[in-house]
Amino acid sequence: MRERSVLHVDLDAFFVAVERVRDPRLRGRPVVVGGAPEQRGVVAAASYEAREHGIHSAMPMGQALRLCPHLVRVPGDSAAYERASRDVFRLLGDYTPVVEQVSVDEGYLDLTGTQRLLGRAVDVAGRLQREVKERLRLDLTVGVARNRLVSKVASDFAKPAGLFDVRPGLEARFFAPLPVRALPGIGPVTGKRLADLNIERLGTLASTEEWFLEEVFGSYGPLLRSRARGEDDTPVCPPWELPEQKSIGHEETFARDSADFELLRGKLQELLEQAARRLRHEGLLARKLTLKLRYADFVSETRDWTFPNPTDHDMELLEPALELLQRMAARRTLVRLLGVRLGGLQRGYWQGSLWDARRVRERRLIAALDRVADRYGTEGLRIGRLAQSPAFPVTKRPVSGWVQKPTRGPSCIPSAHLPGPASRPPCS
């Protein structure tokens, strides 16, 4: 049986790194990407210089500025980050077609069976780092191991811009001195329970009796023990082999609470456009729509709509969404947050009725807008009342379980323009 070789790649301080490519004057300075403090902004990303002051992601921007008065804040350009990410993963795809992207700046590569062609996995990792740096001017951290779990921990261990190779058979030895919280999947609650049992290192967890862990953690106990030994057989899967997403959604917190229906309507249409574009790009259709409002008194309300036929059509999504918004806005309370979620996802493409020529024309318009947005960003060309709706600042925040699709203007990031993989093999 062939020895597996898995790489975990992580772009260091990615949003900040892209901004430094666009503006070299930011190099060496404490920089954060995020919203303005007067608009309830939070830190989306922080440079390593900023982290030395105790600044981290999700921190309120006002607090970050108090910790570091000379901090440089950049509002961010989500489309630029997406384009840079695409260029990086297109480059990675030249080394192996088995590339699984798990976020905009993180992914796994399976190099199993490529040794005769490419050489040792650790040498490939070094070439990847140099090529990403030379062609895109971004720093890449790489962990090398024979499974996903160990490669992920290895890359965390190597940050920033490092490379760490865990040789086959040494996984348990590498894990043993690490704190239990270093193991992906162990959060604050599980970490505290382990600490109460005087289990603070992965080596201790790996040597704990299986029956005892099962008594404390149930069926999760034996899994904890095996993972603490560096054992993991989860495959690296390219996008076409990944399990179906459960939902796609976006939400935004307003800088100022509002009950203006036109403002809410415009923002709702914008969020739905973003979610629908994501559906079309990934070849998905949605059968269920969920609308969420959080009011100024922090009371949240959600309402659902189920479509007779699955769709990715903006107008078919917007009409019931507006009806739900009309009902929910009747509470006559200022709105703090608005969110949409598309569920019941399935593979497929929209099929219009031969008798509804208007929907077919709208579909052609939407396809043209998608092409424009892919090339120039989403701000230059909008549909109807959305372009006329008065804008007001918002703070974007991804939601757990929802897939956030950021959109903003064009980027200056250099493009690699490399060909993607020619074939689609099964998961390794």
* Residue 36, domain CATH: 3.30.70.270
Strand order in the sheet with 6-11: 99-103, 106-110, 6-11, 140-145, 163-165
277 with 347, same domain: the answer is yes
Distance CA 396, CA 46 (A): 16
- Same-domain status, 197 and 143: no
Q: What is the structure's pLDDT at 260?
A: 87
pLDDT given at position 364: 66
Position 144 scores a pLDDT of 95
Task: Kindly state whether residue 418 falls inside one of the protein's structural domains.
Answer: no
Query: What is the DSSP track for 297-360?
Result: TS-EEEEEEEEEEEE--HHHHHHHHHHHHHHHGGG---EEEEEEEEES-EE------TT-HHHH
Number of domains observed in the structure of the chain = 3
The SS3 of residue 286 is strand
Phi, psi of 247 (to 5 degrees): -165, 160
Whether 108 is covered by a domain: the verdict is: yes
Query: 385 CB contacts (<8 Å, ≥6 apart)?
Result: 265, 266, 269
Query: Cβ contacts of residue 133 below 8 Å, gap of 6+?
Result: 139, 140
CA-CA distance, 302 to 263, in Å (whole number)? 19
CATH number of residue 336's parent domain: 3.30.1490.100
pLDDT at 71: 93
Q: Does one domain contain both 223 and 139?
A: no
Within-domain flag for 268: yes
- Give the domain extent around 18: 1-147
Residues 223 and 250 occupy one common structural domain: no
Would you state the structure tokens that stand for residue 133, as one six-digit string? 């740096």
Query: For residue 209, what are the CA distances in angstroms to 73, 157, 183, 187, 213?
Result: 50, 27, 18, 21, 7
**Tokens for 46?**
């922080």
Residues 99 and 4 occupy one common structural domain: yes
What was the pLDDT predicted at 142?
95
* Structural domain includes residue 153: no
Instruction: Judge if 214 and 306 occupy the same domain.
Output: no
Determine the pLDDT at residue 361.
66
Are residues 130 and 8 both part of a single domain? yes
CATH label of the domain that carries residue 178: 1.10.150.20
- Do 254 and 345 lie in one domain? The reply is yes
Judgement on whether residues 224 and 271 belong to the same structural domain of the protein: no
pLDDT given for residue 2 in this prediction: 67
For residues 126 and 205, membership in a common domain is answered with no
Q: pLDDT, tens digit, for every residue of 185-223?
A: 888 888 899 999 999 999 999 999 989 988 888 878 888
pLDDT of residue 418: 33
Q: What is the pLDDT of residue 411?
A: 33
Same domain? 9 vs 142: yes
Rounded (10°) CA dihedral 271, 273, 276, 277:
-120
d(CA 304, CA 343): 10
Catalytic residue list contains 270? no
Low-confidence ranges of the chain (pLDDT < 70): 1-2, 239-245, 348-428
The active-site residue, picked from 106, 200, 252, 282, is 106
CB atoms within 10 A of CB 98: 25
pLDDT in tens, 226-276: 999 999 888 887 765 555 557 788 888 887 888 888 888 989 988 988 888
Residue 201 lies in a domain: yes
